[in-house]
Chains A and B, each alone.
Chain A
């Protein structure tokens, strides 16, 4: 059974390259439409006679489809498969239709044809350039309650989806000898030439079909073959070659240093039922030895009064819709041009049976051959004339034409107006690569000048309009790129001339300040806005751009930049090159966050580091906190306990019986070698020569400027071996600094540094019962006070596993830190737990650890210090070796400001009301009644409730703090002022009696 589906009344039988037998069905604002496979949403709409594609951003003016490619500023649609798979602001000219696609027009309420926002159009005189800066100035309070909510509601184009994106995205790194960007005539020719060398070639093109503007040709030939067939054959030939990777639907959006080019490949957006194993998009990061840019050119519109009505579109687009998609864009078509190429659109349309009402060429004497051909075909021609007015609300209905030198006007009834202001070379990528442009005065365009990267621009992006020349250029560039043998470029025929241009406003678009002659369709910027910006003092093009927002929409002004620049230059009375061009930036077209993020989401967003005992903590109900990449057990709540209660109990249990703590995240570095002690002397402020083997010392590390960089306990395992611990977050930077000194300042020293952070699991057992718990499990180490005093380190076995057992304490209690190989961490922990639990031991988390160390006045680098704190400031000046000749920071510490009076020093604070717990970060003043702004003396660095002491405790950095012991200071908060007394940083067991057992 055969049947035919109506894919639109404006399809012209026999035209185009799509197959009428392959059809798809989609909806547009709920209305069901048919299309052919390979149609873009734009071509499918036009086939169905629909030009109206949405409302504009600022004035809510009805807007149509302007182009046929990536430059489209106007026809932005909301495309969805389902609720989650929905994307706003998709260019209808790029989106291929697929079965079941739902397309919606945007920026209107309640409907596309009746939109209340359109009142903005009537108020347009008030929405001039710089409107936001001028209008929302005062009163100040109105910002929060009135202006901002209003602007937020009105701002933005399209609505973002609310559900998480269920699709997945991929990433690929690729290397090649030659990357060719753009699969038009020049790009294909370059690929065909270079491919023969056998070198690795990637050819990327943003469209579904390679061929570029060749697809818009009907009569033209390359090498004697019709252009379309030459494309098909060339693509087939390249596809069959193993050294060539063809990437259609792939936009090169960023050109970075050393020929690194980022590509975004749309893999499944055109498929009705995408294979779930395929990514929706794929990011390519290509490092190419050579790059050939064959990015083509983009046609410009013309700037004249009411140039934005639906039905007004680019002449080149109309040709593409006709010759590739088989779609006539109208039935009565007018042409308004400054460029020869638009005449080809007129001829093609007339030949396809569409009535071309008139060709209006603003040039007084266009090519006589074109004029003659139009006469022969019976198309009325008006030269030296301009379209000064258009009519038609939802679609253009008529145009008013005036000779440029004459006020006499005539009116033409039309349903479509094709415009051309000439062609703008797509120099975006070249410019991103830091290539320098030059202004081609004769043709009103910027073209590539000096290449900074290893690349070449060929064809129309290089300003080469003539097809024979472009192909010769492609062959030459490709041959040079792969050091291949020179071949001859094929001869071509029938390509339209691209001569003629206008940049800036056409007749009737000014200087009148009321005419709406649009430059930037997406941001609704008119010629008059640019003139106003210049009058108001914006003399740099970068200022004009930001003040008017021209070229700042998602299309980055691909069609509009040259017009904006020319109008600004005219208003400034300057030459265009003197005004300059705004900077081109990546991405060339919008790229989804999905493509950029690709695999780096969810579990793969970042590394999660878990200790060997993580599973135990999970099983025992720990609440975790993130510390860098680590998951650390924060506290272990029991039934009915909140954090406060859990932490209070954990502290109490540890101080009264024992606590077990996972300290595995501590950084650990093994410092080994004959010069190890010399090296330790250099890196740490402390003296190390006399540290006995088997003993530990608390070490402070400074930078050369004398500020604390890191701290930790260091154990001497043997004469030439140190077990260095660092803060959890500091391990990489400490090792980096050590490596730096060792490699670059003292390379002759015999020292080896090894990170052992992940090799040792560390189990802290703290509390009066610590020895009783650990002792029976240990072999070969005498744990008695006499044999193993505080700060001793011993090697032996625990539970049959080798251990470095340190008698250290971050709690002030008798305690051990048991280092065992990471693989045994959980097993040893389990054994200790089994023994300790009946003796009343409880696990404690990082919060209880923080409280207990603060009770003892132990600092945490990065919390109680901030990169401007010296060891003296922090109250650990005793750790600085007084007799040392050198260490990192020795000179910095004697700088005048570091030894001056009145530095911020770490002191303890007790609130007058013992129940009040200060806020960390709160500012401290001497006199709470002084006028604002108050003199701040310092701030709270650590603050906790101490269950053991029955009152709150805090540490603070306070100007001249050491001299303020006993003073009353104040912490002004939003609703109260808290009185505090300065005290010692050690709140508990100052004599260390609890340790010495």
Chain B
């Protein structure tokens, strides 16, 4: 069970308190009624579903009730950071990705060092 950092409560809370709400940073067109079929398709149906860093929405539904966004690695499931709704899509650095991505096959054995994961904050 994941630990998720709610940017409003400023707390790490268990996944049970949250509900996923799909991909983030898809703004509803202001001129909704006029957009083309192709644009509507893109807005409503098409999702990136990246293998790697995903930007997604969560709601702290059994907590403060707020929607917020997260950058997470879809293979390791680890969070890179969470941030408030409305904040700009953050640039994720290679260092940040390396900290959460699963180890590559053939990576040489490493010592049992304490890795850091799931703190929900940009490092």
Contacts and interface: CB of A to CB of B under 8 A. Distances in A.
Interface in A322-361: none
Interface in B21-36: 21, 27-28, 32-33, 35
Nearest to B4: A258
Contacts of B114: 290, 454, 456, 480-481
A479 to B, nearest CB: 12
B115 A704 contact: no
16 contacts: A257-B77, A436-B105, A450-B103, A450-B107, A451-B112, A452-B102, A454-B115, A456-B114, A480-B113, A736-B59, A739-B65, A740-B21, A743-B67, A745-B28, A891-B33, A892-B44
Contacts of B44: 704-705, 892
B2 A892 contact: no
Contacts of B115: 451-454
Nearest to B110: A450
B85 interface: yes
Contacts of B3: 258, 287
Contacts of B28: 704, 745
B37 interface: yes
A747 interface: yes
A893 to B, nearest CB: 10
A739 B21 CA distance: 12
* Max chain A C-beta neighbours (<10 A), residue from B61, B114, B115: B114
A258 B37 contact: no
Contact of B40 (A449, A456, A462, A895): A895
Contacts of B66: 743
A705 B41 CA distance: 10
A885 interface: yes
Contact of A744 (B1, B85, B113): B85
A977 to B, nearest CB: 40
Main secondary structure of the interface of A (DSSP, over half): mixed
Contacts of A40: none
Contact of A739 (B35, B67, B110): B67
B52 interface: no
A219 B91 CA distance: 62
Interface in B104-123: 105, 107, 109-110, 112-118
Contacts of B35: 891
A890 B85 contact: no
Given A257-B1, A895-B40, A747 B32 contact: no
Interface string A148-173: 00000000000000000000000000
Interface in B77-114: 77, 85-86, 102-103, 105, 107, 109-110, 112-114
A258 B117 contact: yes
Contacts of A480: 113-114
How many A residues are at the interface, by size bracket? 35 or more
A452 B103 contact: yes
Nearest to B41: A895
A258 B1 contact: yes
B41 to A, nearest CB: 9
Contacts of A573: none
Contact of B37 (A256, A481, A740, A895): A895
Contact of A477 (B1, B2, B40, B112): B112
Interface in A297-330: none
Contacts of A258: 1-3, 117-118
Contacts of B57: 744
A457 interface: yes
A260 interface: yes
B85 A449 contact: no
Contacts of B61: 736
Given A457-B112, A736-B61, 10 more contacts: A257-B2, A257-B118, A258-B117, A449-B109, A450-B109, A454-B114, A480-B113, A705-B44, A743-B67, A892-B40
B49 interface: no
Interface of B: 1-3, 14, 21, 27-28, 32-33, 35, 37, 40, 43-44, 57, 59, 61, 65-67, 76-77, 85-86, 102-103, 105, 107, 109-110, 112-118
Nearest to B27: A745
A287 B40 CA distance: 43
Interface in A244-300: 256-258, 260, 287, 290
Contacts of A618: none
A886 B116 CA distance: 46
A331 to B, nearest CB: 46
A320 B43 CA distance: 66
Contacts of B2: 257-258
B101 to A, nearest CB: 10
Given A452-B103, A454-B117, A891 B40 contact: yes
B107 A747 contact: no
Contacts of A743: 66-67, 85
B42 to A, nearest CB: 12
A81 interface: no
A452 B114 CA distance: 10
A434 interface: yes
B112 A456 contact: yes
Contacts of A438: 109
Contacts of B117: 258, 453-454
A885 B30 CA distance: 10
A434 B32 contact: no
A691 to B, nearest CB: 21
A368 interface: no
B32 A886 contact: yes
A896 interface: yes
Contacts of A894: 33
Interface string A728-743: 0000000010011001
A198 to B, nearest CB: 19
Given A258-B118, A450-B109, A886 B102 contact: no
A450 B103 CA distance: 7
A813 to B, nearest CB: 39
Nearest to B76: A452
Contacts of A456: 112, 114
Contacts of B85: 743-744, 747
A890 B112 contact: no
Residue of B33, B102, B118 with most chain A CB atoms under a 10 A cut-off:
B33
B109 A886 contact: no
Contacts of B105: 436
Contacts of A452: 76, 102-103, 115
Nearest to B75: A434
Contacts of A477: 112
A747 B67 CA distance: 11
A579 to B, nearest CB: 15
Interface in A448-498: 448-458, 462, 477, 480-481
A450 B104 CA distance: 9
Contacts of B32: 886, 890-891
Given A436-B103, A452-B102, A886 B33 contact: yes
A318 to B, nearest CB: 33
Contacts of A453: 115, 117
A260 B1 contact: yes
Nearest to B79: A258
Contacts of A454: 114-117
A739 B19 CA distance: 13
Nearest to A290: B114
Nearest to A735: B65
Given A258-B3, A736-B61, A744 B67 contact: yes
Nearest to B45: A705
A732 to B, nearest CB: 9
B70 to A, nearest CB: 14
Interface in A853-891: 885-886, 890-891
Contacts of B110: 449-451
B102 A434 contact: yes
Contacts of B102: 434, 452
Contacts of B14: 287
Contacts of A745: 27-28
B88 to A, nearest CB: 14
